[in-house]
């Protein structure tokens, strides 16, 4: 009788889960295992809440198939080995990942498996196209620029989706362990985790996907998929999402999934993406102005479009992509604050926060990353007038400005004194009071 352990990490789903599908097809007994790692527990209350919701949903779905989710707390490597030995498993399967933490974990797991004569099997599933599977000609280890990567990625044959297991049979006598409670999180309007909700969101999105190309930058329309937290935790498979989008000819949307894969292949060869500049030449002259940083974090810079984005982040644990670009550019290019401080703040709040996408995008904006135009600037007022033309997005998140109609909300300093004095809203930060500063951007 063959027994397999599947160490789940951020592939919290039954659908198109190559590690789980392989174990269910090749072993008689399967232990789907999740180990709560105390080292990751305090990074973000929002993500912890989402994760615990995912685990509860996964347990329910596994139980419906005769199995269960086995839960342990501790070092994932030590616990995986302990469970494998208890269950008499011959193999441990895990999805390959790219962050330096995940890679160290994988290395230790390999050593321990070898020591205990247990087979370790690595599986795809994190991306549509595996990091490292598409390489530039001439011997490079990864693509540094998106467009050629996108061309190569689009020409690559995708793997087939793995079948969803119909039955999961646990070994006799295994202690399944208690699910962690679901903590409050920090954002009152955060999305709820789990494969069940992720699948529902994906089906609902397919009814709106045709409008994506035209509306994805319209901040008030909120016309993006909001699938990112579900992709981050693997509640939906990136391949399943990409296949569904491709069947709707939604090229603009598929291209965004390619951006996600792009940053995974960058992180795969440059795992220190969160702390070290990808392009060191751009990494100079940062300011460490904590007062400015705090105003930015609190959504009190006095620039409405920036403040709206920062408040959306706190309220929902998520932010519209256009607002991420504007707020990140404001911190790094206007306030001149080190991008690493922005990475950290986003990483605390974002439910979809992960190393490749958060840090990769921050570096792109800061001019230290994969942008072919590293000196570009985003003028927040022009961005606001273009992508929130009626000011609806700003008024949604900055209630102090509710009474200001139309696009006038983007430049409260231009309002007549009598109106401005009645607003409980700050003037722009000292260094940014002169409107000429915006126009240079």
Ligand X SMILES: Cc1cc2nc3c(=O)[nH]c(=O)nc-3n(C[C@H](O)[C@H](O)[C@H](O)COP(=O)(O)OP(=O)(O)OC[C@H]3O[C@@H](n4cnc5c(N)ncnc54)[C@H](O)[C@@H]3O)c2cc1C
Instruction: Please report, as ranges, the residues that interact with ligand X according to CB under 6 A.
Output: 216, 224-228, 231-232, 256-257, 259-260, 263, 321, 324-325, 328, 346, 350, 352-354, 357-358, 361-362, 365
Closest contact distance (angstroms) between CB of 109 and ligand X is 25
Q: Which residues contact 218 (CB under 8 A, 6 or more apart)?
A: 387
From the CB of 51, what's the least distance to ligand X, in Å? Answer: 15
Strand partners for 123: 95
Our CB check for ligand X shows the closer of 86 and 186 to be 186
Closest C-alpha to 362, from 439, 428, 286, 289: 286
CB of 181 or CB of 247, closer to ligand X = 247
In angstroms, what is the minimal distance from the CB of 36 to ligand X?
21
Q: Least distance from C-beta 87 to ligand X, angstroms?
A: 34
Whole-number Cα distances in Å, 401 to 296, 308, 380, 415, 429? 17, 10, 17, 12, 17
Closest distance of CB 239 from ligand X, Å = 13
Cα-Cα end-to-end distance for the chain: 67
Q: Going by C-beta distance under 8 Å and a sequence separation of 6 or more, which residues neighbour residue 85?
A: 116
d(CA 303, CA 281): 30
Minimum separation from the CB atom of position 346 to ligand X (A) = 6
Q: What angle do CA 179, 182, 188 make, to 5 degrees?
A: 165
Torsion angles phi and psi, residue 174, rounded to 5: -80, 135
The residue among 91 and 240 lying less far from ligand X, judged by its C-beta, is: 240
Q: How far is the CB of 84 from ligand X (least distance, A)?
A: 32
- Nearest approach, Cβ of residue 415 and ligand X (Å): 30
Cβ–Cβ < 8 Å for 274, 413: no
Name the residue nearer to ligand X (CB basis): 63 or 376: 376
Q: For ligand X, which is the closer residue by CB, 91 or 237? A: 237
CB 62 within 8 A of CB 69: yes
What is Dmax (Cα atoms) for the chain? 81
8 A C-beta contact, residue 359 and residue 273: yes
Q: How many residues are listed for the chain in this entry?
A: 441
Nearer to ligand X, 216 or 340 (CB): 216
Beta carbon nearer to ligand X, 72 or 311: 311
**In the complex with ligand X, which residue's Cβ is closer, 166 or 375?**
375
Nearer to ligand X, 81 or 231 (CB): 231
Closest approach of ligand X to the CB of residue 387, in Å: 13
Quickly list DSSP for 143-191.
-SSHHHHHHHHHTSPPPPPPPPPS---PPTT----PPPP----S-TTPP
């Amino acid at each position: 009788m063959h027994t397999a352990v599947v160490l789940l990490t951020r592939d919290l789903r039954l659908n198109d889960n190559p590690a789980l599908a392989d174990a269910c097809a090749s072993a008689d007994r399967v232990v789907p295992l999740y180990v709560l790692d105390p080292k990751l527990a305090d990074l973000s209350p929002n993500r912890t809440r989402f994760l615990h919701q995912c685990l509860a949903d996964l347990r329910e779905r596994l139980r419906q198939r005769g199995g269960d989710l086995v839960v342990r707390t501790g070092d994932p490597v030590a616990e995986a080995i302990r469970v494998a030995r208890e269950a008499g498993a011959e193999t441990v399967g895990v999805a390959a990942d790219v962050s330096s933490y995940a890679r160290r974990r994988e290395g230790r797991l390999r050593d321990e498996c070898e020591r205990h004569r247990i087979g370790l099997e690595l599986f795809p599933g994190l991306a549509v196209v595996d990091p490292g599977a598409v390489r530039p000609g001439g011997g490079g280890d990864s693509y540094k620029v998106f467009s050629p990567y996108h061309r190569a990625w689009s020409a690559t044959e995708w793997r087939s989706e793995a079948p969803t297991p119909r039955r999961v049979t646990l070994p006799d006598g295994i202690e399944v362990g208690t699910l962690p409670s679901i903590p409050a999180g920090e954002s009152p309007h955060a999305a709820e985790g789990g494969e069940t909700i992720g699948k529902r969101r994906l089906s609902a999105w397919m009814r709106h996907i045709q409008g994506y190309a035209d509306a994805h930058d319209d901040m008030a329309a909120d016309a993006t998929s909001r699938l990112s937290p579900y992709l981050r935790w693997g509640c939906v498979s990136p391949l399943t999402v990409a296949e569904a989008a491709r069947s709707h000819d939604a090229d603009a949307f598929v291209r965004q999934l390619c951006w996600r894969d792009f940053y995974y292949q960058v992180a795969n060869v440059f795992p220190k993406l969160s702390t070290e500049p990808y392009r060191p030449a751009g990494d100079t002259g940062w300011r460490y102005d904590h007062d400015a940083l705090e105003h930015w974090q609190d959504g009190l810079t006095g620039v409405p479009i920036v403040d709206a984005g920062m408040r959306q982040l706190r309220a929902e644990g998520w932010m519209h992509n256009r607002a991420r670009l504007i707020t990140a550019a404001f911190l790094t290019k206007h306030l001149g604050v080190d991008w690493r401080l922005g990475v950290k703040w986003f990483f605390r709040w974002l439910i979809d926060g992960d190393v490749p996408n958060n840090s990769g995008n921050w570096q792109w904006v800061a001019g230290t990353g994969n942008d072919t135009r590293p000196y570009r600037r985003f003028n927040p007022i022009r961005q606001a007038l273009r992508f929130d033309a009626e000011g609806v997005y700003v008024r949604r998140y900055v209630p102090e400005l509710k009474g200001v109609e139309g696009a006038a909300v983007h430049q409260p300093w231009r309002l007549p004194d009598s109106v401005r004095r009645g607003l409980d809203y700050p003037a722009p930060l000292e260094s940014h009071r002169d409107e000429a500063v915006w126009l240079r951007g």
